[in-house]
């Protein structure tokens, strides 16, 4: 199929990455960076494992103090991660 209107490559890429399933996969790939931005450097350094399955984020934290603090804020963490990611990526955060 031939396009009659030429488009800038940046506009084509923006349109491609704006598709919901593509945007979700890109946000999932950027999850470690989003986690660091949301919880801070110290908590991100103490995170040993971060896994996303079926909109459930599993985070393993090595420090009991940081683990308890994040556990108390888990609903706010899910909302903040979704806000920073720009898509509905996480429904539940489980801190272990």
Please report, for the domain that includes residue 33, its CATH number.
3.30.300
pLDDT of residue 14: 75
In a domain, 86, yes or no: yes
pLDDT band at 59 (very low <50, low <70, confident <90, very high): very high
Q: Residue 72 to residues 1, 50, 68, 91: CA-CA distances in angstroms?
A: 54, 18, 6, 16
Decide: 24 and 87 in contact? Cβ < 8 Å. Answer: yes
Tens digit of each residue's pLDDT (9 = 90 or more) over 15-45: 776 776 777 777 778 888 989 999 999 999 9
Is the pLDDT assigned to residue 1 strictly greater than 60?
Answer: no
Decide: 77 and 38 in contact? Cβ < 8 Å. Answer: yes
Smallest CA-to-CA distance from 57 within 27, 31, 37, 83 is with: 31
Give the separation between CA 18 and CA 42, rounded to whole angstroms: 32
Decide: 66 and 94 in contact? Cβ < 8 Å. Answer: no
In a domain, 4, yes or no: no
pLDDT of residue 92: 92
Q: Regarding predicted confidence, which is higher, 10 or 23? A: 10
In a domain, 13, yes or no: no
In a domain, 5, yes or no: no
| Other Cβ atoms within 10 Å of 15 Cβ, number | 10
In a domain, 1, yes or no: no
pLDDT of residue 60: 94
In a domain, 2, yes or no: no
Number of domains in the chain: 1
Does an H or E element contain 43, and which? helix 41-45
In a domain, 84, yes or no: yes
């Amino acid at each position: 199929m031939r396009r009659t209107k030429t488009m800038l490559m940046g506009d084509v890429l923006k349109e491609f990455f704006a598709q919901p399933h593509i945007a979700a996969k890109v946000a999932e790939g950027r999850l470690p960076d989003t986690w660091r931005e949301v919880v801070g450097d110290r908590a991100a350094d103490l995170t040993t494992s971060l896994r996303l399955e079926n909109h459930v984020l599993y985070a393993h934290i090595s420090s009991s103090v940081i683990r308890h603090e994040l556990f108390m804020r888990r609903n706010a963490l899910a909302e903040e991660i979704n806000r920073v990611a720009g898509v509905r990526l996480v429904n539940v955060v489980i801190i272990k």
